[in-house]
């Protein structure tokens, strides 16, 4: 039976899908959904799990918060904000900030490119629908958005085991580790979600419930190094060992 993973715009589940294909016998598919359809995607059986953008109605769902996304403003090229590295909400007072409907992010950014005001969106969304004729700047004091993974509370045992296996992959569980039951412990954020900071990226931010730490599956660096110890010698003096005394002639 095919395992289906739904995701909202801005989420890239490619790494986890690849690991699933390496480890699991069941095929896997991805399903792109809008924020408006993120809840119904799993409750309606379109997908087994879904990466959602919070908030979401939790009734009937298990929810694991994952990472935060910084907010950015998108403006047309040659707008005044192009001269700065970041802006605050106060800097945008008096600007024509347009609301962005769920599923309409790409159209909203296209409208910005043609002089139709400015929009504030999650940084991964701006990157997904990026264009050369717009400029993107972090909004330092705008509230971040959060990505979570959800799945139905009521599942058949076989489906629950498959969901648990995928949760383990997202959490960085190795193929050799035991597969425990699904928990509400937040998984570690993926590397691309931690690269950003408050100033412009989809990174973790240290608020309650956010995740810190290494990327899923990352192993600590080895404390040893190849070869002999630094500055040391192996096998005694150079030249192949201690010299033998010469025998004199009689």
Q: Which CATH number belongs to the domain containing residue 26 in this structure?
A: 3.40.190.10
Task: Kindly state the average pLDDT of the residues 46-62.
Answer: 96
Q: Is residue 221 part of a domain?
A: no
Residue 60 and residue 8 share a domain? yes
Which of 93, 114, 138 is the C-terminal boundary of a domain? 138
Q: Is residue 205 part of a domain?
A: no
Contact predicate 104/159, CB 8 Å: no
Task: Kindly state the average pLDDT of the residues 36-60.
Answer: 96
Tokens at 52, concatenated: 């959602």
Residue 152 and residue 29 share a domain? yes
Contact predicate 67/187, CB 8 Å: no
Q: What local confidence, expressed as pLDDT, does residue 177 receive? A: 66
- Is the pLDDT higher at 165 or at 246? 165
Number of separate domains in the chain: 2
Residue 111 and residue 11 share a domain? no
Task: Kindly state the average pLDDT of the residues 52-65.
Answer: 96
Contact predicate 174/122, CB 8 Å: no
Q: What local confidence, expressed as pLDDT, does residue 51 receive? A: 98
Q: What local confidence, expressed as pLDDT, does residue 37 receive? A: 94
Residue 64 and residue 151 share a domain? yes
User: If pLDDT is split at 50, 70 and 90, which confidence band does 211 have?
Assistant: very low
Is pLDDT above 50 for 219?
no
Is pLDDT above 70 for 60?
yes
- Is the pLDDT higher at 158 or at 216? 158
Tokens at 55, concatenated: 């908030």
Residue 50 and residue 10 share a domain? yes
Q: What local confidence, expressed as pLDDT, does residue 146 receive? A: 97
Supply the pTM of this predicted model.
0.69
Lowest mean pLDDT among 66-70, 94-98, 129-133, 195-199: 195-199
Task: Kindly state the average pLDDT of the residues 82-93.
Answer: 96
Residue 82 and residue 50 share a domain? no
Q: Is residue 29 part of a domain?
A: yes
Domain that holds residue 122: 71-138
Residue 8 and residue 124 share a domain? no
In the chain, % of residues over pLDDT 90? 66
Is pLDDT above 50 for 234?
no
Residue 165 and residue 120 share a domain? no
pLDDT in tens, 136-150: 999 999 999 999 999
């Amino acid at each position: 039976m095919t395992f289906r993973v739904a995701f909202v715009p801005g989420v890239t589940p490619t790494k986890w899908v690849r690991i699933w294909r390496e480890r699991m016998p069941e095929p896997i598919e991805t399903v792109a959904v809008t924020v408006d359809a993120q809840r119904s995607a799993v409750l309606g059986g379109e997908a087994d799990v879904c990466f959602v953008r919070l908030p979401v109605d939790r009734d009937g769902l298990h929810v694991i918060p994952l990472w935060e996304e910084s907010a950015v403003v998108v403006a047309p090229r040659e707008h005044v904000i192009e001269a700065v590295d970041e802006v605050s909400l106060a800097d945008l007072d008096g600007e024509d900030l347009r609301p962005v409907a769920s599923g309409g992010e790409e159209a909203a950014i296209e409208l910005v490119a043609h002089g139709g005001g400015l929009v504030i969106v999650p940084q991964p969304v701006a990157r997904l629908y990026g264009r050369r004729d717009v400029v993107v700047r972090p909004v330092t004091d705008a509230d971040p958005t959060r990505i979570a993974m959800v799945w139905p509370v009521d599942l058949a045992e076989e489906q629950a085991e498959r969901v648990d296996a995928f949760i383990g992959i997202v959490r960085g569980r190795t193929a050799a580790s035991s597969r425990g039951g699904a928990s509400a412990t937040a998984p570690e954020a993926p590397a691309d979600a931690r690269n950003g900071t408050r100033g412009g990226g989809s990174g973790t931010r240290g608020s309650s419930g956010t995740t810190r730490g290494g990327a899923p599956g990352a192993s600590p660096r080895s404390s040893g190094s190849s070869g002999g110890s630094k500055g040391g010698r192996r096998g005694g003096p150079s030249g192949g060992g201690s010299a033998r005394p010469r025998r004199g002639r009689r």
